[in-house]
Amino acid sequence: MSTQYPALIVIVPLMSALICFVVGWWNRNFCYKIAVAAIAVSFYSSVVTMKDVMANGVIHYWVGSWEPPWGIEYVVDYLNGYMLIIITFISLLAVIASKKSVEKDFPEKAPAFYSIFLLLVTGLVGITITGDVFNVYVFLEIASIAAYALIAIGKRDHAPMASFNYVIYGTVGACFYLIGVGYLYMVTGSLNMADLAKLLPDLYNSKVVLVGFAFLLVGVCIKMALFPLHMWLPDAYSLAPDSVSSLIAPLMTKVSAYVMIRIMFTIFQPVFSFEMLPVGSICGWLAVIAIFVGGIRALAQKDLKNMLVYILVAEVGYIVIGISVGNRIGLTGAILHIMNDAAMMACLFLIVGAIAYKTGITDITQFRHMNQKMPFTMAAFTITALSMVGLPPACGFFSKWYLVLGAINANQWVLVVTLLISSLINAILFFRVIEYAYFYPHPEHGAEEHVHATSHGHAEIVMNEAPLSMLIPILIMATLILVLGPFSGKIISSIIQFAIPAGF
Amino acid sequence: MEVVSSITPLLTVLVSAVGACLILATGERNRNLRESWTIIAAVIKFALVVSMVPLVLEGKVIEFTFINLAPGLPLQLKVDPFGMLFALLASTLWIATSFYSIGYMRGLNEHAQTRYFFCFAVCLSATMGIAFAGNLITFFIFYEILTVATYPLVMHMETEEAYLGSRKYLVYTLIAGVVLLFALAVIYSMTGTLDFTPGGFLAGHGIHTGLLIFLFVLLIMGCGVKAGIMPLHEWLPTAMVAPTPVSALLHAVAVVKAGVFGTLRIILYVFGPILLHDLGVWLILAYVVSFTIIVSAMLALAQDNFKRRLAFSTVNNLAIIILGAIILTSNSITGGMLHLVNHGFMKIALFFVAGAVFVKTHKKNVSDLDGLGRQMPLTFGAFTICALGLAGVPPACGFISKWFLCLGFLEAKEIFFLIVLLTSAMLDIAFFGPIIYKAFFAKPKPDVSPHFDEAPMLMVIPILCATAISVMLCVSPNAFVHVFDIARMAAMSILGAG
């Protein structure tokens, strides 16, 4: 307990949320700066904490110096240290990129926006850092309520309705989680994860524990939008303002996936989750359906953002496949995919925001000549698209490689085939957009357009790139997508292999 | 085999990637500068490849490892004789194609030239990566990059036909990629390694015979799409909608040759002769490619479009290369590998001719070529030499490779395949003969100029160079950077290990 950095990760965004709101009355231009600074501090603290973990092992931070299992304990190990860096980094880019679209869409609500945004980040890092199951619930609610508010903050007609829908689903999910926690508390008298992990193995035959486990898992599945509990997600995320969806879409589902991994591998032992209960095969099948349903619904969309939210449903399936195969290599793939998918989704949603901000276009069929209007944004889009399809050397390929290997090792051939086919579905989805953006002269006027194009060299289309505050985060993300791929071996050998419970 | 660690293989891959970035940065503003990046990158690449030849001839293997993707799974470049052969072919032809492309693109005043040259350079990077890939995963990574980088080139014309062609291309190659990935994942989880080993590495891991055969089918399907093995060849003639230099380099050299190269790697370096003999699958593949050889030659007879006729001739020759390898004797493997190189030089000359005719006269069909030989004697003279060479007639190099193939088939006592090869040579004459006849002996059409009126020199000179190299490779197979010795070494290393 040498440093205070683990606390700073959570406290700084939380306090800044309050400051932001107060300062907003006086001058709302400060809010953006406060938010960026707060998240930057949080990111820096996460990096320092992670370094500390890599040097000295797991960090236990007792909030208010109360000893666990009575007090709340923050535990940072390789798994959540890694998650914290992902969350804070993507939040940082999302908040930087949000500047212009907030100024354009709802300038009068900027103080509210940034303070709720910071609360959402607080919730996400809180869920991840804490070592206490009840504290997870508290942060889960902070994050969810902030998310409900942010989704409804925009001017889109149906956004409040979508948000309300999400409130109902989300509350049921949180409720289920809380009931699960209650059951576990009933039999063990403890809320601390490490303590629970020690006490529970003797009680694996108890019906109470079984029911508690089921409630916890279903609650988390609602939050992570695993089929068939995904119904709230497409509307909520696609109707949210662009500045919000680029934060929520990449992170909310990933954090819930993290909680799922914690429940199945830390609080309960894999023996219970996979050998005593058929959770693996149930989740595996649901993931297969999620991937196909998400992919096919995405095929039916003309609006880029709608397409992405359905792809997100499918991507949740990928992570769940990695978890459900119940072997080391599959879990490696899942954890790697949490990072890769967060990066890809963040990049894609930032791009959607940039294009909508600059041109107002969200319909794919109107993407014509987008490569000349916004060449850098579209280059980033292409890289991300190739990664989503799973083409090397972008990072999407590498997590898919581990997921496929995991499924083969578990002899789950249906999962292998699903993963491979879904790459092809993604190929159709993304090459369609690329075709419109880069190559599309209306086929019916193809010949005439071609003559026109050769004689003028498309001179009439002016470059109209997104503002730097949006473009730079997009380009950083796209570069990372390319760089993370070849380095995934390094990431696995230095972080992820220690994040997986020993002996599993 | 002695292993030398060196950064040169990486540089050969990177040189055109850097070139691609410079091309993109320069853009339309300064066309001459942009084109000079292409030429500079091409020349440097060729020099780098040639600089590694002496080491390879000494029997050393040059290696460069980027990074470990997983235990036993490095991202690794390794220069062995077979890879060297392919790299030499691709890097030599890139120089010729660069000059030719400039002549072609400017001659037709094409649009989106920056995109075109950018993608071209990326393709060449990927091709080098394929040639020097030390294991299946590295091969796969570059193979997929090649797929993606070729797609905009096929799409280049942006017409309805180009859409269909490029979509079909993507559908075929991406499905093939997925199939390949599946096979790779299974092999890796069974053996824990994917390193290419002369003579194969799959034997002795206790993999069930049925599964081995299944894997062989998957891998051959994965590479066979690009190699145009029937019935997976359908995309190739449709992709001929691309500009001619693209068809020339990518569909006669880089893409399809990458497919054939991959197929040969799988036959010789993953499974290996002994395992294939034990499994008995070699004979089935030999029959499949024999079918391809005959049927594609017959289909070529039926094509009136000049480039489509050449496309089917490509399918035919690719199958001949694979047939050479799958017969698994030292002479047939040598012949197959030599044909990989020889066919590249001859076929690129033929495609260049088709492009030169198109730029000069806007004629696309064989039936319109009447009397053009008088107007363009250099172009059609080169065409005659190379076309006959493909059929196996000296003085072009097709003779040498077919000679070794015949020797190899006799050595294996496979008379049936010998007959297939000779029949296809006759069919070659049957579909190239009319072109030569029309060009030189038919009554000229009224629009043909009776005087000497050639295509731009930037196009004619590459044609003559490719033809000259083809002839040189026949007269003295070792004169051009020891191609023959390298092919021989590759064949020996495979059989020596087995």
Q: Which residues of A touch B188 (CB under 8 A)?
A: 405
Nearest CB to A443: which of B67, B111, B160? B160
Distance of CA B280 to the CA centre of its chain: 27
What is the average pLDDT across B37-62? 89
Question: What residues contact A29, with CB distance under 8 A and at least 6 apart?
Answer: none
In total, the C-beta contacts within 8 angstroms joining chain A to chain B are: 90
pTM of the model: 0.90
Model confidence at B1, pLDDT cuts 50, 70, 90, reads low
Q: Which residues of B touch A458 (CB under 8 A)?
A: 111
Model confidence at B420, pLDDT cuts 50, 70, 90, reads very high
Nearest chain A residue (CA) to B76: A486
Nearest chain A residue (CA) to B111: A454
Q: Which of B69, B130, B190, B191 to mutate to test the interface with A (most CBs of A within 10 A)?
A: B69
Reported as a single tens digit per residue, the pLDDT across B193-219 is 888 888 888 887 878 888 999 999 999
Q: What is the pLDDT of residue A503?
A: 64
Q: CB A489 to CB B68 under 8 A?
A: yes
Q: CB B159 to CB A393 under 8 A?
A: no
Model confidence at B358, pLDDT cuts 50, 70, 90, reads confident
Identify whether A170 is part of a domain: no
Nearest chain A residue (CA) to B154: A439
SS3 A225: coil
Q: CB B174 to CB A424 under 8 A?
A: yes
| Phi, psi of A223, rounded to the nearest 5 degrees | -65, -35
Overall number of domains in chain A: 1
Q: Is A482 on the interface with B (CB under 8 A)?
A: no
Q: Which of A368, A382, A431, A496 to mutate to test the interface with B (most CBs of B within 10 A)?
A: A431
Identify whether A491 is part of a domain: yes
Nearest CB to A454: which of B109, B174, B185? B109
Q: Is A467 on the interface with B (CB under 8 A)?
A: no
Identify whether A276 is part of a domain: no
Contacting A residues, span 364-403, partner chain B, CB-CB under 8 Å: 386, 389-393, 397-398, 401-402
Q: Which residues of A touch B185 (CB under 8 A)?
A: 401, 404-405, 408, 416
- Report the alpha-carbon distance of residue A197 to residue A200 in Å, rounded: 6
Q: Which residues of A touch B112 (CB under 8 A)?
A: 453
Q: Which residues of B touch A386 (CB under 8 A)?
A: 148
- Report the alpha-carbon distance of residue A484 to residue A474 in Å, rounded: 15
ipTM of the complex, rounded to two decimals: 0.88
**In the beta sheet, which residues pair with residue B365?**
B305
Model confidence at B479, pLDDT cuts 50, 70, 90, reads confident
Nearest chain B residue (CA) to A371: B115
Reported as a single tens digit per residue, the pLDDT across A215-231 is 999 999 999 888 888 88
Question: What residues contact B376, with CB distance under 8 A and at least 6 apart?
Answer: B356, B357, B360, B453, B454, B455
Q: Residue length, chain B?
A: 498
Nearest CB to A386: which of B112, B148, B185? B148
Q: Is A452 on the interface with B (CB under 8 A)?
A: no
Q: Which residues of A touch B70 (CB under 8 A)?
A: 402, 489, 492
Low-confidence ranges of chain A (pLDDT < 70): 1-2, 441-460, 503-504
Picking from B401, B392, B387, the residue whose alpha carbon sits closest to that of residue B346 is B387
Identify whether A287 is part of a domain: no
Determine the structural domain holding residue A312 and report its residue range. Answer: 301-504
The answer to whether A387 and A340 are in contact (CB under 8 A) is: yes
- Residue at token pair 């000549």: A369
Distance from CA of B69 to the nearest CA of A (A): 4
- Report the alpha-carbon distance of residue A110 to residue A107 in Å, rounded: 5
Reported as a single tens digit per residue, the pLDDT across B151-185 is 888 888 878 888 888 889 999 999 999 999 999 99
Model confidence at B498, pLDDT cuts 50, 70, 90, reads very low
- In this structure, the number of other CB atoms found within 10 A of the CB of residue B1 comes to 9
- Report the alpha-carbon distance of residue B246 to residue B120 in Å, rounded: 8
Nearest CB to A453: which of B111, B175, B182? B111
Region of B89 (left: φ > 0; alpha: ψ -120 to 50; beta: rest) is alpha
Reported as a single tens digit per residue, the pLDDT across B70-83 is 777 888 898 988 99
Q: Which residues of A touch B186 (CB under 8 A)?
A: 408
Picking from A469, A464, A485, A491, the residue whose alpha carbon sits closest to that of residue A387 is A485
Nearest chain A residue (CA) to B72: A489
As a whole number, the mean pLDDT across chain B is: 87
